[in-house]
Chain A
Amino acid sequence: MDSMSLIFSGNPVLSIILTFLISVILLYIARKPAHELIKSIFHLAHKALRLSAKSTLLAEKRFAARNKEVLLAAGEEAVERIIEREFHRVEAVVRRDLSGYPTLQQALKTQISKIEEDYSKSADAPPAPPGWANAVEAVAKIPPTGDTLVANMLGAINKSIDKQYKNVLSDYRKACAERHSLLKKMMPFWRQMTNTLAEVDKTIAGILERSKVIDAKMDFYENIRKGSDKAVRMLSSSSLTQFFIAGLVMLIAIGGAVINFNLIALPMSEMVGGGSYIGPFKTSNVAAMVIILVEAAMGLFLMESLHITKLFPIIGAMDDKMRHKMIWITFSILFILAGIESSLAYMRDMIAADMQALRQSLAEVTVSPEHTGNWIPTVGQMIMGFILPFALAFIAIPLESFVHSSRTVIGVVVVGLLRTVAYSLRLTGNISRSLGDMLIRIYDLIIFAPLWIEGLLKKEGKSQNEIKNNKPLSHGKEEKIA
């Protein structure tokens, strides 16, 4: 310890004790304002932190509400799109199968009228035997009397009746055969009608299936419109899944783009020169990257024009004629770029082979004779160069999912962060309040000796007061008793 700060320079222990005692006395004297100061500081901190926590929680609630709105709006749009698609499918089924319904009806009517006609024909009864036959039959049944004339006459009648009967029977059989043949003819018409009706039944069943899907989607849509918790939960979980899947696909696409870049970067230096730089990057590399980005942009426009994605409302809102033009233009540019890439890939192979030959000659290595099948990598590279731009075009689909789902995911993350911040602020506020109380206790602990003396003095003063107060009371009591 510095000798200047010592009260007794010869005795440091005594100096320390004395300093401590003086400090304790000073602290004791300043106890009340010191307590108030500590309390006010820590209570101020507590209040400020609690206020911050409250406002953070409010912000978190607002953010959560906004997230919910975004989620529901996105869900609504997605379900609307699905329902629209289902209606399109139903429309397609109706147009395909039921557009021929009038023809079908006509065919059915024709078949039914034919069947009716045949049926009515089959119902025609054979001609009845003539009416006099009954009279003759009665005469023929007269018993023979022995008269030969009569007997001959009756025999003749009997014969003619038999003949007549045979004729009638033959006519009847003929008529029956005709009716059977007509009924037989009806069979294919029946079959045709059954098949036609089965087809109609199948179509109707398909439409019914679709209508069930539409019903389910409509229910979900209703839930979204109501903003039910179930719908929000389903949408957020679907959004998270979409985010990770789209992210994964995007990574794969980036891998494809990197390979594509490597295919065309070297030959680009043949076109734009390998020695120039844009910033810290080689111009040839930038040019290759620009080509890939242009391909990706064309892919985006193509997907947008095809109504597969909905990233650019302007393209989506174009009239069909313009949209078709856009499809052809973007596809043509993509096709041309794919062709350029394919030729660049070929060029790359040539340059690489030339470089290899030069290096081998510089290293004085004997060049091995060319193997058959050396064209395979060249062709492979050319095919890759042609296909990759088209494959890259499909990046628009995961990109759209990624962009849409990332809004929800970022929202969820921000809400989580805000909640954590609010919790931390509240915790710190509570800790600061407790810390203030604790400091007051520690303060009192340091000055425990004067406090103890004060307590003793107070106790003594109190007991003396009590004694003083008790004396006149006892006198009064005695007086009362007396």
Chain B
Amino acid sequence: MKKLIITSTLLVLLLLGCADTTSHTRGVYMLMDTSGTYTQQIKKAQSIINYLLATLQPGDTLAVARVDSASFSEKDIIAKGTFDTRPSVANEQKRKFRQKLDNFAKGVKGSAYTDISGGMLQAVEYLNEAASGKKTILIFSDLKEEIKKGHVRDFPIQLSGYHVVALNVTKLSSDQVDPREYLDRLTYWEKKVTDGGGTWKVINDLERLEKLLDD
């Protein structure tokens, strides 16, 4: 009788363990605007990435990509990787990741156009492949999208299960003339994200980065 109870308990535990197929890992994809004067903000972007590197756990995924004239491309990914489940190896990977970004920051060049939608599509594709449990897309940009002539980005993006966070949305000189432009930009992106099934958040104060990965 005792054996039966022990065996059944173990079996139940095993089944419970096996039944849980949800991924507990987190995937973060950061889009870095490198158009025009926004390249001057690269230091701030680096500090955000450093914060992410310090916060993400072993097994999590991080990718940083630049937003240029045509961002729906793997070529725009500066650094990417899923951290090893062993903390010591993950730490080493984080060091290399940072090194890559430092190298990129040294030679960053501005792009003529800003294809944020293409970048978002690339992010969705990458994070879906990574099969992370919680998916976050960070957009480090002024959210002023400028698409190359002929490129089509005017369609809804499927963002169900994604948290999209706009970071450091700077006010342009035209926004000073008419602040409604700035507000319209924010509203446009919020609508685009929520229509796609995702959640939207704006963090302009980079001192409050702890809210970055809040779900």
Contact = CB atoms under 8 A, between A and B. Distances in A.
Interface residues of A, number: 22
A274 B59 contact: yes
A358 B86 contact: no
Interface in B27-66: 50-51, 53-54, 57-60
A143 interface: no
A211 interface: no
Contact of A354 (B17, B54, B88): B88
B194 interface: no
Given A273-B59, A275-B58, A362 B98 contact: yes
B16 interface: yes
B88 A362 contact: no
B199 interface: no
Given A269-B85, A274-B85, A358 B17 contact: no
A362 B57 CA distance: 15
A279 B17 contact: yes
Contacts of B51: 362
A276 B25 CA distance: 9
A355 interface: yes
Contact of B86 (A270, A280, A355, A364): A270
A358 B94 contact: yes
A362 B87 contact: no
A428 to B, nearest CB: 41
Contact of B54 (A277, A278, A363): A363
Contacts of A266: 87
Contact of B85 (A276, A358, A361, A362): A276
Contact of A269 (B20, B53, B54, B86): B86
Given A274-B86, A351-B88, A354-B88, A269 B58 contact: yes
Interface in A396-413: none
A359 interface: yes
Nearest to B58: A274
B25 A275 contact: yes
B3 interface: no
B24 interface: yes
Contacts of A277: 20, 24
- Secondary structure type dominating chain B contacts: helix
Contacts of A351: 87-88
B57 A274 contact: yes
Nearest to A270: B86
B191 interface: no
A279 B85 contact: no
A459 B131 CA distance: 98
B91 interface: yes
B95 interface: yes
Give chain B's interface residue range (CB within 8 Å of chain A): 20 to 34
Given A279-B20, A280-B20, A354 B91 contact: yes
Contacts of B17: 278-279
A355 B87 contact: yes
B91 A355 contact: yes
Contacts of B53: 358, 362
A354 B86 CA distance: 13
Contacts of A269: 58, 85-87
A280 B19 CA distance: 11
Interface string B72-92: 000000000000011110110
Contact of A270 (B25, B60, B88): B88
B25 A362 contact: no
Contacts of B50: 362-364
Contacts of B86: 269-270, 273-274
Interface string A258-278: 000000001001100111111
Nearest to A352: B87
A354 B91 CA distance: 8
A279 B20 CA distance: 5
A358 B25 contact: no
Interface in A423-482: none
Contact of B59 (A275, A359, A363): A275
B10 to A, nearest CB: 12
A127 to B, nearest CB: 96
B16 A358 contact: no
Interface in A221-278: 266, 269-270, 273-278
The list of the 5 closest CB pairs from A to B, nearest first, reads A275-B59, A273-B85, A275-B85, A274-B58, A278-B17
Given A274-B58, A277-B24, A362-B94, 15 more contacts: A270-B86, A274-B59, A274-B85, A275-B24, A276-B59, A277-B20, A278-B20, A279-B17, A351-B87, A351-B88, A358-B53, A358-B91, A358-B94, A362-B50, A362-B54
9 contacts: A266-B87, A269-B85, A270-B87, A274-B85, A275-B57, A279-B19, A351-B88, A362-B51, A363-B54
